[in-house]
Amino acid sequence: MIEHPQNRLHREETLVEGKLLRYTFVLGPLANNAFLWVAPKLKEALLIDAPAGIEALVLPYLEQHQSRLQATLLTHGHFDHIGGLQALKSLDAPVYGHKDDLGLIQHPYSPYYPHIHTPPGYIDHFLEGGEE
């Protein structure tokens, strides 16, 4: 796991009359947000974005709620949003992302941050826009 001093839970919210929980995490080298949505009664969860270090923050909440990660949704393919994908692979949750981001995800790099190494990511299911 990649440790960064800013990796932390930023906010915990209860929504839809307690049926849905949203955890906002700040992590990775650029302090990106990631969101874990948990439906405790269904024992299911959804992750939005996977910055580096996400696994150490998400796994305890999945265990706490005895929930299974159903999917990870990538907002876009920049290196700072995908750095934790490989570490989450063992959870067997499919990754959804836009088909146009595949090149960025498979070959993550930023000319502005050449010192940050990000392992290649992957997309299991492609989104094109307008899906429901």
Regarding predicted confidence, which is higher, 118 or 8?
Answer: 118
- What does the pLDDT read at residue 71? 98
- What does the pLDDT read at residue 2? 46
pTM for this structure? 0.91
The angle formed by the CA atoms of residues 57, 7 and 94, to the nearest 5 degrees, is 45
Average pLDDT over residues 42-56: 95
What residues have CB less than 8 Å from 40, skipping those under 6 apart? 19, 21, 65, 67
Q: What is the spatial distance between Cα 117 and Cα 108, in angstroms, rounded to a whole number?
A: 8
- Segment holding 63, helix H or strand E: helix 54-64
Structure tokens at 117: 């190494």
pLDDT digits (tens, 9 = 90+) for 64-89: 999 999 999 999 999 999 999 999 99
Say whether pLDDT at 55 is over 50. yes
Structure tokens at 126: 């492609």
Average pLDDT score, the chain = 91
pLDDT digits (tens, 9 = 90+) for 97-120: 999 999 999 999 888 889 888 999
Laid out side by side, the sheet with 95-98 consists of: 8-15, 20-27, 32-39, 44-48, 68-73, 95-98, 125-127
